[in-house]
Amino acid sequence: MLLERLYDEDLAQASYFIGCQAKGVALVVDARRDISDYLALASKHGMRITAVAETHIHADYLSGTRELAAATGATSYVSGEGGEDWQYGFEAQRLYDGDEIALGNLRIVARHTPGHTPEHLAYLVTDGAFSSSPGYLLSGDFIFAGDLGRPDLLDEAAGGVDTRFEGARDLYASLKKTLAELPDYIQIHPGHGSGSACGKALGAVPSTTLGYERKFAWWSTYLATDDQDGFIAELLNGQPDAHAYFARMKRQNRQGPTILGELEQLTELDAAQILEQMEAGTSVFVDTRSHIQIAEGTVPGALSIPGKAKTASFGAWAYDPEEDRRSMVVLAESVGHADEIRAHLMRVGIDAVKGYALSLDGLPSYKPQSITPAQLTDFDHDLLLDVRNKTEFAAGHIPGATQISGGRVLWQQDQLPTDGTIVTYCQSGMRNAVAASALRDAGFNVIELEGSYLGWSKLDN
């Protein structure tokens, strides 16, 4: 059996390539939308991708299941569980608890594990050439290393009302059933790692075992003592802000993401072409340099999306493809770099990258307005906006600040003064640069706090 993890550091998301070497066939679980890595892996190992499956309707990235199936002719598998409200809207084979996917000598069994979402499936894998017993669980957003999938995202991102409590009870029941039925040696391969917003304390290790989690995870004591109420309280406490784009991902993944097919080659644009498009309102310039460089000068009206470590995450904060019809021109080091930026943005359903620039030469320069922490006390402003997470805000913030996380602020403009001055800050400045540029693009008067919260905290307050 071949089992390879393909990990996206940007979104802290893992997909899995599972192959039967004897039969030369493979399954991909939870594929991302830029599919070249899966095709390359299949070619490297001389395998055909005959099946693609997903664990649930994802909220944090746009699924590549349909894209990969269209490119390879593979059969798509999705969950049929969860009731009428959680059915997929595109053609694929539905799986229910106990259903199997045939993959040569491998046996992949779907296990219904509701909690994070009602329809959630995990996949139990048996290597028939080695053993008749299962050895691996592709757990999706059910069990992570050191944590569990959060059950509150349906409230936060899908318009649910207090569904978190039912989800938490379902997750508790799913855990009890899994622990009762499976041995400690089962290897857990989760769908996310440290940094994902799908949980609050995910570990950085790529895999774990059921026995290790049973003994050492935060939830182990609650299950050992059958304390469901304590489990629910601990699970729901301190979850991070859900990004606003999660709602769009839920809708698009349920309906079925658009199949892109072969991508067009990106066009290098000169300064005159870029300015013409920007003045016509048909494109927006994306500055992908660090927030420190951007603070020294960028293009007027540019979006700040530092790449490529968090291109997808920050891109989805600053650009809403359901409302914004402008194409994107990205600042890139090469055409290869521009292709990487496009690929990352595709992962969150932003298909707007059409061109790139290799430098700022010939473009007008603009230095984003800022003030120092020392100037803040006497500075006349209408709103001091903290764009960090609510957990960071609770741990300490500048007096008088209002908290709206960077991943939500573009969607909560009704809470902002339309005519006044907004001073924004985050922890160190990177997230602030993204949020501030998005708000300026939306028409707000925004001034950034130099050094953000860390800079302010160094003052003698």
We report the CATH number of the domain holding residue 201 as: 3.60.15.10
Q: How many domains does the chain have?
A: 3
- Decide if 363 is inside a domain: no
Q: Which of 314, 332, 357 is the last residue of a domain?
A: 357
Mark whether 336 and 416 lie in a shared domain.
Answer: no
CA–CA distance, 219 with 216 (Å, rounded to integer): 8
Tokens of 212: 């290790």
- Decide if 364 is inside a domain: no
Mark whether 225 and 125 lie in a shared domain.
Answer: yes
Q: Who's near 323: CB < 8 A, 6+ residues apart?
A: none
Q: Who's near 138: CB < 8 A, 6+ residues apart?
A: 16, 18, 29, 30, 55, 122, 123, 125, 189, 191
In this structure, are residues 315 and 406 in contact, taking their beta carbons and an 8 Å threshold? no
* Residue where the block lists tokens 């990969």: 68
CA–CA distance, 310 with 18 (Å, rounded to integer): 27
Mark whether 241 and 103 lie in a shared domain.
Answer: yes
- Decide if 38 is inside a domain: yes
Strand ranges of the sheet holding 267-268, from the earlier edge strand across to the other edge: 267-268, 353-357, 327-331, 283-287, 303-304
Cα four-point dihedral sign 431, 433, 438, 440: positive
Mark whether 302 and 389 lie in a shared domain.
Answer: no
What are residue 95's phi and psi, to 5 degrees?
-115, 140
Q: Who's near 132: CB < 8 A, 6+ residues apart?
A: 126
CA–CA distance, 251 with 245 (Å, rounded to integer): 10
Cα four-point dihedral sign 287, 288, 289, 293: positive
CA–CA distance, 433 with 213 (Å, rounded to integer): 38
Structure confidence at residue 461 (pLDDT)? 58
Q: Which of 216, 232, 255 is the last residue of a domain?
A: 255
Q: Who's near 394: CB < 8 A, 6+ residues apart?
A: none
Mark whether 438 and 318 lie in a shared domain.
Answer: no
Mark whether 302 and 378 lie in a shared domain.
Answer: no
CA–CA distance, 113 with 107 (Å, rounded to integer): 18
Mark whether 195 and 331 lie in a shared domain.
Answer: no
CA–CA distance, 403 with 256 (Å, rounded to integer): 34
- Decide if 299 is inside a domain: yes
Host domain of residue 319 = 267-357
In this structure, are residues 64 and 34 in contact, taking their beta carbons and an 8 Å threshold? yes
Paired strand residues for 300:
none
- Decide if 412 is inside a domain: yes
Mark whether 336 and 383 lie in a shared domain.
Answer: no
CA–CA distance, 189 with 181 (Å, rounded to integer): 18
Mark whether 404 and 320 lie in a shared domain.
Answer: no
Mark whether 176 and 223 lie in a shared domain.
Answer: yes
DSSP helix/strand/coil, 417: coil
- Decide if 238 is inside a domain: yes
Output the domain CATH number for residue 334.
3.40.250.10
In this structure, are residues 444 and 416 in contact, taking their beta carbons and an 8 Å threshold? yes
Q: Which of 330, 357, 384 is the last residue of a domain?
A: 357
* Residue 146 zone, left/alpha/beta (φ > 0; ψ -120 to 50; rest): left
- The pLDDT tens digits along the chain (461 residues) read 999 999 999 999 999 999 999 999 999 999 999 999 999 999 999 999 999 999 999 999 999 999 999 999 999 999 999 999 899 999 999 999 999 999 999 999 999 999 999 999 999 999 998 999 999 999 999 999 999 999 988 777 666 677 899 999 999 999 999 999 999 999 999 999 987 777 777 778 999 999 999 999 999 999 999 999 999 999 999 888 899 999 999 999 999 999 999 999 999 999 999 999 999 999 999 999 999 999 999 999 999 998 778 999 999 999 999 999 999 999 999 999 999 999 999 999 999 999 999 999 999 999 999 999 999 999 999 999 999 999 999 999 999 999 999 999 999 999 999 999 999 999 999 999 999 999 999 999 999 999 999 999 998 75
Mark whether 441 and 299 lie in a shared domain.
Answer: no
CA–CA distance, 217 with 226 (Å, rounded to integer): 15
Mark whether 272 and 332 lie in a shared domain.
Answer: yes
* Residue where the block lists tokens 């071949």: 2
- Decide if 260 is inside a domain: no
What angle do the packed helices 65-72 and 36-44 form, to 10 degrees?
A: 50
The number of residues in the chain equals 461
Using CB atoms within 10 A of its CB, is residue 382 exposed (0-12), middle (13-18) or buried (19+)?
Answer: middle
- Decide if 317 is inside a domain: yes
